[in-house]
Structure 1
Amino acid sequence: MSHPLFWPGKYYWFPIGNTAAVCYSRDLAPEEPGNILLLGCGDPRNVLYTIYNEPTNGTRRLDFTCCDSEPAVLARNVLLLTLVIDQQSYTNTVWNIFYHLYLDDASHQALLAQCRKLVALAGTAQRWRDSPYGRIIRFCSDYSRNELQRHWSLYADMHELPEARKQAIRAAFSRVSEFNLSTKGVAGAARSAGPLMHLILEPTISLFSHYWKTGTTIFDSPAITQATLINPTFVYSLAGESGHAYHSTEPLAGFHLAALAGNSERTVTMKDIVEGAKAEFADWCTAFISHLSSSSSRVPIIRLVVGDAMAVCSYLERHGNMETIRGTTPVAQWKTQPMAFNKEYASEGFPDCFNVIDTSNLVDHIDLLNVLVIALPLLEPPPRPSVLYTESLLFDGLNPTKDFARRLRANLTVMSLLLGVTPIDYLSGFSSRSNTHDLMLHAAVGTDAAQFHQVTTWKTPLTGDPYAYRCGGAALPPVFDHIQLGTFLYDLYHDLFEKEDAFYLLGLKKKQRAKALAHSDIIHINRETYVLFLKLVKGRLCISREVWNRVMLRFWDLFEADQTLVMDKVYGQEFVTQLHLHHVVTLPFLSFPPQKLGRFAGWASVPTLVRVILIVPREKLSKLSDIAQDNLTPPLQCDILGPEKINSFASVHAAFGHAYTVGTRESPRVSFEQDPEEWNGTSPLIVSFILAARYLEFQPHHLQRVALSIPNFSGSARVTIAGHGESLCIHSADLTDESSVLLVPERHSPPDQPSSPISSSSSPSLAHGDRTEIGTSGRAVVALDEQCELPSIVQISPCTMKLTLCGSVQYVTYPFPVIESQNRLRLARKSRYIQVVAHVYGPFQPEGMKLNPFPVIDIDRQLTLWSMHRVNLRCMPSLVLGAPRSIQRLNGHVGSMMSNREHSLLRKGHKGDPVLSLKQSLLTIFHRAAGNLEGEPRRLLALIDDATNNVDTLIFVDTFHYDLQHHTIVCSGYVLSTTEEFMSRMRVPFGRLVEQGRISHLRLYSGEPKLWKQLLPALAERCRFSWQHTDKCEYRKKGTIPLSEESDEDPLCSCGRGKDVACMNRNELWRPFAPHVTRIALSPLFAVSYLETVGRQTSSHRCFVCRGNGQPNIRACSSCKKVRYCSKACQTKHWREHKTQCVTSDA
């Protein structure tokens, strides 16, 4: 396993999601089928919300593969979906069964009946396929089906348990309820309101307490008294029969509350929140049913697989490469069942690569590097666009905005080149998703903040280049200098594992050391993680064996020379074993066959790799149980102990049960029998790891022991030593003890066949008619030093250069955006080649993505957005601007898109940054269209080129909408290009519009008019759901988007003109222009908080009285939030003066 093994402490699971629902198809064109992989899928809110956001006239199919290691999560999900399919009452029966801890008799009877029905249908795979649910809900494996059937059976039978067991369950629920009721101020559901969360903070806090007091979302006293039956779907999980649902579970955290908070004319109550959530839930269910009753092409497929995300991804990757059905990797830690999809299911052609992969917040649980390593091989390869979503809620350190870069542990540009994907906001320099509410919350709470929601969208950089795929260079990976690449890879290795060394802790400052010690049990990386990263890099770069060996030679030189990582001597054997296991590199001494000595004496042949199995008696685990009671989760490892050296192995698998020797002495094999009682049983613990057999030759077998232990660099190890005065060893046995230590050959899969890069010479030329006759463009060579000369060449798009020689043209495509002004040509006439050297683009640099920050890419006749998400305006509630406070809140939110750097430039009157000028223009449009405090709304705006005083674009503003999932506002409107041809036909109505339309003029400064020409196609495309681009589309005929960036020319195609123009037709002055306008969706472009400072940082706050720092934290006045104090003493000192000015904040 590429994630370390932990002895679990208190187990929590998440029956209900704790973040607001998102749409998984937000980056897909409306016609693009969705093959969607959900790792750690959680509850079905996101699946339902995705289906809800589908266009009513759409035809694409959505295919969800839902993976979760907790079978109870999937069992509950199927229960909900089948109840909806049966059209039970969405807001009563279905709601109660899924969200309430306690049920009334009617809901309980409906639950039991549904569970018994599902148990019967899940008896066989064929019976399920033939059921009413079989065409929609599918099981990937028999194991998944059996596990869910087992849970439904548990639910159905719980009320028949002996009274003592039922009393234990009630006691467990009571303990969790008491804990939550004693916790003050829990309001996770308020986060879903985004920047309006302060408006519903109090009722969500009260609602959390009400939920854990009554176990329901009901407010009618008689109904509450009837809800007395424990909901069995919250009882059973991997922890067994208990109430171990996450202690801060909130039933409404997955719903969107911004519209409710923003549009309410009175104070929002708990009942308002519940009714709003139920209404949204009913909308989702209704949309789901409508898809089932429509054409077969629109019926969604929901595939279910029980398994650890790493195991599932590993299986899918091997299946895609080798077309195998049965795997060898267990479905999860503490399980022996191997991952194996059904043969019948596989014959249907289940997806093994995906254009959308969502990883929930697995980053918090297995680390970002592990998430990237397991997910990226499953992304659909170019030229098809695909997207990976990662998110995190937890953060280390004091500044959560720096946490994302810290998680990568390396330069983001270099990592992007190695991995083939990059965060889109890293290149664009802006985000269409707002996180300013999280920033403000963290600034207000300071170091007391427990969470910070970081959502990252990863895409292939070349999918943001409109020319790359048309000139074929897209598939050519970069070439690194082997010395530089080997050095970089070792530097990353050093950074990953330096914390294992005690001297690392001694080098930290006192506060840093205390925090490092507190987090020393939180280890998500081991040597196998790093080896899988190397494997991914090797495959992505298509490096030949000869070059890769040179890269690794440089790595080994540094590895041997560095004496600071003392634990390398302990984990060295595992590292070499994993390198061979995953076909990264094989050290020369492993090419010699192992000797038939000791335990291998009777084997017919000794393979390179063997699996070592240690049987640990149950009673030896008491020490671990004692540590777990202290809320510690110690990491575990296996050791080979010899008289001269200890070698440790962190890639360990464990499960309770029995291991039996089968086969023959010449060809030994082992059979596992898992204990069905698992943690509550009496069977021993079986732990195993892989080892290169030759390492057992270094010392006689009878002098070696195999052990299970806690690493000595973990915090749990220190507790063990302090509390027990004992070693870190849990159990050990002689290697020669055949009753306790088993050795079997390890199956070694053949190496993956590297994919051949597509040669640009065989790819089609660009659509604009240039001839490619100079030659073929080779792979981009990446130099990581800082001494490279800066070349210069004509750049036509972020990643593509146009080279002209004697009338012939060659297109050179780089795998990453480059900087035009820092390019240089090197011509070797005798060798007959031209070298184009380019500097890599980065945030806040010229050219690169700034050539067109809003690309719309035509791939296989489907238009794909790169830097902005799509919005279905039909599904977005309107914003009511009926009061000055609502306008103030809108203006404040839109203004928060600026970073501190941008605010500083604006104060200085800077107009040299077109993107900043565009942001200022967007801010002005929102302010004027909403109506500021001084005047009426101005819904018709004319864009004026400051250099020429020319007006060639009008914007008609319709409605403001809540973009619920992205915590921001969208302004729907229409754009009209006043070209000469148009004006010749429409002079009379246009003159009337000028005279009576109250046009507000917006001046555009240097570079901004061109930027608007690039932006408008993206704004039109992002809200395109009711119409399609036709064969006559001007984009396709001309081969460029936008059509033009010149003044008085239309940048848009004609396909969207006159579509969705009901608003235009309602306005007498606007009506004549309805057939000529195209609908657009404007939204703020927010600064990227991990790239630059947004809002005032907590560290810059000072006490209003003494101007000192916090003692320990700076805290704002709880009423007005306008002044801050370092301590209670300073607040008391200032209160007599301040109380006359303190007004409760509602802004």
Structure 2
Amino acid sequence: MNWGSNLSSMACRMKRFRPNWRKMSLAQNIFKDWAELPPRIVCVVLMAPSHELEFLRQNGMEPFPRFVCNLINPNCGKPKISTIESVQAAWGKCVPLEGSAGVYVIEEGPHGFCADSSSDLILSFWSNAERLVATGLRVSLNLLYTPLARYKYRKELGDDLTLFSADASNKDHVLILRGRPTSDARPQNALRFETPTQAVDPGQPCIIKIRGEKKDGPQIREMKVRVKVKSDSEKAALAKGTKGTTEQIGPCTLRLNFHRAAYTVTFPFPILNSDTSVEAHSKSYEIEITTQVSTNISIQAGGYPDNWFPILRHTTFTPWNIHHAHLYRLPLIDIQQRDKLKWPIAHTSAQMSDRERIIQRSKHAAQRTPDEVLVNVKESLSVLIQDYIGLRQGPVRVFALVDMMHGFFCFIFVLGLQLDLAGGTVVLVPIRLKGAEELSPTLSAFIDSGEPWMQVRTRPAEVIAWKHLLPAFVERCRTWSHKPNCEYKSTGKVPLGVKPEVNPTCSCGHRVGLDEPEWKDPAWKAVLPFATRAAISPLFGVSYLEEVIGPAARMQETQAPTSHHEPPDVCWQCDGLRIGRKLQRCERCKKARYCSKECQELHWKAEHKFKCKPI
């Protein structure tokens, strides 16, 4: 073998892949008018005229499919398409800032494309500059390609589901800028990753081997890690057959206690110490830890904190595992067009993982363990969303969360339902009011106003979950600052308490943001001074922890519903299921369902007789 020849040919091949786009003649690419070489990351702005988007006006009720932008390079034989899903959009005009060099601003349209046909849809995204130098490059606005989108829209939009496209060199529709244009004179700069400072003790690197089996599908089941011991005393102990012991210190973290040393081992997925084994390898001076990915998400056994929805307390308060929502930017859903709002039923039912679906079908709400409380919470969230729209009964704007032993512990006044475009879900925009005794006169005044409201019954474990969840729903949309005398700061606790009679949130947000005209409802006037705005949305399972759309979900899809507007088949009194037999229906309206005669009588006296409409 001629190594010199091979290395030489390899070097020639390597040269072909060097990023030499900067050496191209500027006259040959899209940056020919730039006075300076462009940075590595630039902003691409696509301006789609309003009249080109008539398709959106005709098909605008459902929250799917998503929009994406494509960069289409025609110089690769078959056109090469690069899809960008992280896109920002605004309605208006993108115009140059007077007196600046290459800075553009967005003059937003007053009411979007429905009322202002002169506005463009302005889409912007970040791209590597080297992607943009190809001759004949096109930029397009498309629907995200999915089998469902292709089936529904291929006839109108073509195989690529293109709504609008333009040549990258067409400055009437495409701009290449250093910064992303905004509504003020300061463009947004590209975020660049900066290497973090090295930790004082970076720890000992180790290799984790992950194994899956065909029968498990895409899920990972087993993980192995080998820890290398260093000191002579540890090596001697290893030679004697000492294995060491493990203890769980976090959902994904074990501590290995060996001889006089302790090693912290972090896995990429949750584990249980009870499913862990330790083996000593004296020849390689290594300790092997084998563990299983936990399929039982337990707050007791899995090392999880008691709070499912913790609030981080650093320079400010922020939810840890619930994303933020900018309510002023989210489009409002018109719930008056209920014939077009069938999708929220499927959307809210998709909250359940397969494990939770089985729990929902097989256990009465009162029989579920604390580890299964999220099933109850998700069922209550489905009730809030569906009954606000009026898919099951209603529509209802006011809900009272009720503890079966202590009475009301929270009132929720809903202003609207919005699309969370970034999260791919919906958000209820309510104000929440504690159900405390000191507010009895205020609540009495509201109840006497005659506005209909609905009770959502909860169990003791679910009350605690709601007490943790409500502060997170408030913090995710907070636009105000916490006051110096904030109860969170003075007590050092979030939530402030989990007992039914304790308000879990601070008072800093009372009435903040509730002076707009949409909140000027006479029936709500008395409660606004004590209310805090929140953003309530469904909670979804994650596929890397447990099966989400598996056999249990497919089984539910095969069950033909009586009506497209009906929620999952649960008792309207206790949220339970009648195992082995169908639920009984109300003889008058044929909608309400009950697992027993007792539940039917209780629900009739408390609520249903006021809303039941014969068919």
Name the TM-score, length of structure 1 as normaliser: 0.31
* Letter aligned with residue 487 of structure 2: E
Alignment-derived partner of residue 592 in structure 1 = none
Q: Which of residues 482, 485, 488 is equivalent to 2:226?
A: 485
1:1088 CA drift (Å): 1.8
Q: Does 1:1060 align with 2:517?
A: no
AA partner of residue 924 (structure 1): V
Residue 1047 (str. 1) matches residue 504 (str. 2) = no
Query: Which digits, 9 at most, give the CA deviation of each residue in 1:136-159, with x for residues without a partner?
Result: x9xxxxxx99x79xx77x97xxxx
Q: Secondary structure at the match of 1:217?
A: strand
Q: Is the contact between residue 399 and residue 413 of structure 2 (CA under 8 Å) also seen in structure 1?
A: yes
Contact 1:959 1:972 in 2 (8 A): yes
Give the partner amino acid of 1:1009. Answer: V
- Could you tell me whether the CA contact under 8 Å between 1:855 and 1:1018 is conserved in 2? yes
CA distance in 2 between counterparts of 1:547 and 1:1066 reads 76
Correspondence for 1:955: 412
Distance in 1 separating the partners of 2:102 and 2:379 = 49
Q: Deviations over 1:637-685 (max 9, x none)?
A: xxxxxxxxxxxxxxxxxxxxxxxxxxxxxxxxxxxxxxxxxxxxxxxxx
Pairwise CA RMSD = 5.9
1:982 is matched by which residue type in structure 2?
L
2:157 aligned residue (192, 195, 207): 207
Give deviations 1:901-921, integer Å, cap 9, x for gaps.
222222223331211111111
Q: Give yes or no for contact 1:876–1:961 (8 Å, CA) kept in 2.
A: yes
CA 1:188 to 1:1051, structure 2 compared with 1: closer, same or farther past 3 Å?
Answer: same
Quote the residue 1:1015 is aligned against.
Answer: 469
| Structure number with higher strand proportion | 2
Residues 414, 430 of structure 2: 8 Å contact kept: yes
Larger radius of gyration: 1
Matched, 1:289 2:182: yes
The letter for the 2-side match of 1:876 is L
Structure 1 residues 941, 379: CA separation in 2 closer, same or farther (over 3 Å shift)? Answer: farther
Structure 2 residue aligned with 1:945, among 383, 397, 403?
A: 403
Structure 2 letter corresponding to 1:899: S
What is the percent sequence identity of the aligned residues?
22
Question: Which of 144, 147, 156 is matched with 1:191 structurally?
Answer: 144
Q: Judge conservation of contact 2:311–2:317 (CA < 8 Å) in 1.
A: yes
2:390 pairs with 1:926: no
CA contact (8 A) 2:141 2:164 kept: no
The aligned residue for residue 547 of structure 2 is 1093
1:1030 equivalent in alignment to 2:489: no
Offset at residue 1015 of structure 1 (A): 0.3
Going from structure 1 to structure 2, the CA distance change for 1:821 and 1:1007 (only over 3 Å counts) comes to farther
Q: Which has the higher contact order (CA 8 A, sep 6+)?
A: 1
Counterparts in 2 of 1:210 and 1:1044: CA distance versus 1, 3 Å = closer
CA 1:211–1:862 in structure 2 vs 1: closer, same or farther (change >3 Å)? closer
How far the C-alpha of 1:6 sits from its partner, in A, is 9.6
Distance in 1 (CA, whole Å) between partners of 2:45 and 2:105 is 22
1:643-658 maps to which residues of 2 (within 5 A)?
Answer: none
Q: Please say if residues 16 and 43 of structure 1, whose CA atoms lie closer than 8 Å, have aligned partners that are also in contact.
A: no
Whether the 8 Å CA contact 1:21–1:965 is kept in 2: the answer is no
Deviation at 1:205, TM superposition (A): 5.7
Q: Say whether the 8 Å CA contact 2:352–2:548 is kept in structure 1.
A: yes
Partner of 2:189: 301
**What's the CA shift string for 1:270-297, capped at 9, x where partnerless?**
xxxxxxxx9xx99x9999332435xxxx
Match of 2:298 in 1: 846
Cα deviation, residue 1054, structure 1:
1.0
Q: Which residue of 1 aligns with 2:447?
A: 993
Distance 2:358 2:339 in 1: 27
Q: Which amino acid aligns with 1:920?
A: E
- Cα 1:189–1:936 change in 2 (3 A) is same
- The correspondence of residues 739-778 of structure 1 with structure 2, limited to 5 A, is none
The within-5 A match list for 1:499-510 is none
AA matched with 2:537 = S
Structure 2: gaps spanning 5 or more residues: 1-12, 22-42, 47-64, 70-81, 92-99, 201-211, 254-263, 275-290, 559-563, 565-615
Report the CA distance shift for 1:857/1:381 in structure 2 as closer, same or farther (over 3 A).
farther
Deviation at 1:1028, TM superposition (A): 1.3
Secondary structure class of the residue paired with 2:340:
helix
Structure 1 residue 855 corresponds to structure 2 residue 596: no
Supply the distance in 2 between the matched residues of 1:546 and 1:351 (Cα, whole angstroms): 37
Q: Which runs of 5+ in 1 are unaligned?
A: 23-41, 54-80, 100-136, 138-143, 156-168, 177-186, 219-226, 235-277, 294-298, 304-349, 354-377, 383-395, 415-483, 487-542, 555-781, 801-812, 823-838, 1105-1119, 1121-1147
> C-alpha distance in 1, partners of 2:122/2:407?
62
> 3-state SS of the aligned residue for 1:292?
coil
Deviation at 1:989, TM superposition (A): 5.2
Choose between structure 1 and 2: higher helix proportion: 1
Q: Which amino acid aligns with 2:395?
A: P
Match of 1:730 in 2: none
Evaluate the alpha carbon distance shift between residue 15 and residue 380 of structure 1 in structure 2; reply closer, same or farther with a 3 A threshold.
farther
The separation in 2 between residues aligned to 1:874 and 1:380, in whole angstroms, is: 40
CA contact (8 A) 1:190 1:201 kept: no
Partner amino acid for 1:856?
Answer: I
Verify the 8 A CA contact 1:972 1:1080 in the aligned structure 2.
yes
Q: TM-score, normalised by structure 2?
A: 0.54
Amino acid of the structure 2 residue aligned with 1:903: R
Deviation at 1:874, TM superposition (A): 0.9
Residue correspondence of structure 1 range 568-717 to structure 2 within 5 A: none
Distance 2:548 2:433 in 1: 34
Q: Deviations over 1:250-285 (max 9, x none)?
A: xxxxxxxxxxxxxxxxxxxxxxxxxxxx9xx99x99
| Post-superposition CA distance 1:827-872 (Å, at most 9, x none) | xxxxxxxxxxxx999453322336111001101x312321111111
Q: Quickly say closer, same or farther: Cα 1:200–1:878, change in 2 above 3 A.
A: farther
Q: Is the 8 A contact 2:338 2:389 kept in 1?
A: no
> Is the contact made by 1:898 and 1:1087 (CA closer than 8 Å) also made in structure 2?
yes
Residue 885 of structure 1, CA deviation: 3.2
Mapped to 1, the partners of 2:154 and 2:118 lie a distance apart of 23
Any conservation in 2 of the 1:973–1:1081 contact (CA below 8 Å)?
yes
